[in-house]
């Protein structure tokens, strides 16, 4: 039986990964300091004999007794609202946390997969973004704390791979959505949905022409799982290339909610990327992966989840 450590295991993505590995018959250890994660996301696993939870901050020394086969490092604040509020913790979990876990992987002879992000591309000058693009990032801007933490994370992971021969995998995650996202997450999808459900104005930043590509969580988890088990050690984009402007996206959610909320415009935050669309050629050719959940279907499931969270029937 494979033994897997998922850091950030009580978070949105981490909790779905815990579910997947339990389903695959693995022993799963979820580790989280709960600064942005929520214990409710994994409560349903507490009674499972192959699941355990460690309340711990990976920026401090990480000890896991016994053998480990895989480490998936998903611990980090991930939305601007969180990393602007917790800039130093964000930098520490990407640097010290990653270093601690790479050391653990080396001592256990485990394979380690890190959760990188499309944010390493910054406000891209190349469209769509492929893995060979080096990015256009402002290291001292407000978003730099997240972008550079993830860029450093990739660099130290590659250094451990090249210098120590550690088995490593790097996934660059594009916008993902689905149940267990936080309503107050601050990103476009939860913001639009909670505003529509509360019959508030829907806030679009800038003129809404900036684009995003939204991938449903089950598709993302499948891509990550395939990458972990592959023998490919360089970064791989996992995301849905179906691109939409944020204004059109707000209208889609308005329609889904049957809402008469007005769309209002606010100034664009500094360094907000104007375009986001993954080139997923590598994922398709190396992993045989591509997204299968249609946005309409995924949005409906997510919307129902948010309704339930807000107690709206």
pLDDT number for residue 129: 95
Neighbour count for residue 54 (Cβ, 10 Å):
16
Which residue matches tokens 């509020």? 85
Per-residue pLDDT for 255 more than 80? yes
Tell me the mean pLDDT in the region 226-242: 98
Per-residue pLDDT for 186 more than 90? no
pLDDT number for residue 94: 98
Domain at 181-212+242-275+294-309, CATH class: alpha beta
| Domain topology for 3-176+215-238 | Rossmann fold (3.40.50)
List of E strands, the chain:
3-7, 27-32, 51-55, 70-73, 111-117, 168-173, 176-177, 202-205, 211-213, 215-216, 236-238, 243-245, 263-266
Tell me the mean pLDDT in the region 53-79: 97
Question: Considering the chain, what is the average pLDDT of its residues?
Answer: 96
Rounded Cα distance, 111 and 105, in Å: 6
Q: What angle do CA 260, 262, 267 make, to 5 degrees?
A: 160
Rounded Cα distance, 293 and 270, in Å: 32
pLDDT number for residue 161: 98
Rounded Cα distance, 167 and 309, in Å: 40
Q: Report pLDDT digits (tens) over 146-173.
A: 999 999 999 999 999 999 999 999 999 9
Catalytic residues: 146
Rounded to a whole number of angstroms, the distance between the first and last alpha carbons of the chain is 42
Q: Tell me if residue 6 falls in helix, strand or coil.
A: strand
Q: Quote the crossing angle between the two packed helices 295-309 and 246-257, to the nearest 10°.
A: 60
pLDDT number for residue 100: 98
The reply to whether omega before 128 is within 30° of 0 (cis) is yes
pLDDT number for residue 174: 96
Buried b or exposed e, range 182-207, using 16+ CB within 10 angstroms: beebebbbbbbbbbbbeeeebebeee
Identify which of 216, 243, 204 has the alpha carbon closest to the alpha carbon of residue 195.
Answer: 204
Name the pTM for this structure.
Answer: 0.96
Q: What angle do CA 154, 60, 76 make, to 5 degrees?
A: 45
Identify which of 312, 185, 191 has the alpha carbon closest to the alpha carbon of residue 261.
Answer: 191
Percent above pLDDT 70 for the chain = 100
C-alpha 228 chain-centroid distance: 15
Q: Report pLDDT digits (tens) over 261-274.
A: 999 999 988 878 88
Identify which of 59, 78, 69 has the alpha carbon closest to the alpha carbon of residue 29.
Answer: 69
Tell me the mean pLDDT in the region 300-312: 94
Beta-strand relationship, 3-7 and 70-73: parallel
Rounded Cα distance, 61 and 87, in Å: 20
Q: Report pLDDT digits (tens) over 92-122.
A: 999 999 999 999 999 999 999 999 999 999 9
User: What are the sequence ranges of the domains in the chain?
Assistant: 3-176+215-238, 181-212+242-275+294-309
Rounded Cα distance, 214 and 241, in Å: 8
């Amino acid at each position: 039986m494979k033994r897997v450590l998922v850091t950030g295991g009580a978070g949105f993505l981490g909790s779905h990964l815990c579910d997947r590995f339990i389903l695959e018959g693995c022993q799963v250890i979820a580790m989280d300091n709960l600064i942005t994660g929520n214990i409710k996301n994994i409560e349903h696993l507490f009674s499972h004999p192959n699941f355990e939870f460690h309340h711990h901050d990976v920026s401090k020394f990480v000890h896991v007794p016994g053998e480990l086969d895989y480490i998936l490092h998903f611990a980090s604040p991930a939305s601007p609202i969180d990393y602007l509020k917790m800039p130093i913790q964000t930098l520490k979990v990407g640097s010290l946390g990653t270093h601690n876990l790479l050391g653990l992987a080396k001592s256990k002879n485990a394979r380690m997969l890190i959760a990188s992000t499309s944010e390493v591309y910054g406000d891209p000058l190349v469209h769509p973004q492929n893995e060979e693009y080096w990015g256009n990032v402002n290291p001292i801007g407000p978003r730099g704390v997240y972008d550079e933490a993830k860029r450093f994370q990739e660099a130290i992971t590659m250094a451990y791979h090249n210098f120590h021969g550690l088995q490593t995998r790097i996934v660059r995650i594009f916008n993902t959505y689905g149940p267990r996202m936080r309503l107050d997450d601050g990103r476009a999808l939860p913001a639009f949905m909670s505003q529509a459900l509360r019959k508030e104005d829907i806030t679009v930043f800038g003129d809404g022409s900036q684009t995003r590509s939204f991938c449903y969580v089950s598709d993302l988890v499948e891509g990550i799982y395939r990458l972990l088990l592959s023998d490919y050690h360089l970064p791989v984009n996992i995301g849905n290339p179906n691109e939409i402007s944020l204004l059109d996206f707000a209208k889609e959610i308005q329609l889904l909610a049957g809402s008469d909320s007005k769309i209002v415009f606010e100034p664009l935050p500094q360094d907000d990327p104007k375009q986001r669309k993954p080139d997923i050629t590598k994922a398709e050719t190396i992993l045989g992966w591509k997204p299968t959940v249609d946005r309409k279907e995924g949005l409906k499931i997510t919307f129902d989840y948010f309704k339930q969270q807000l107690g709206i029937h």
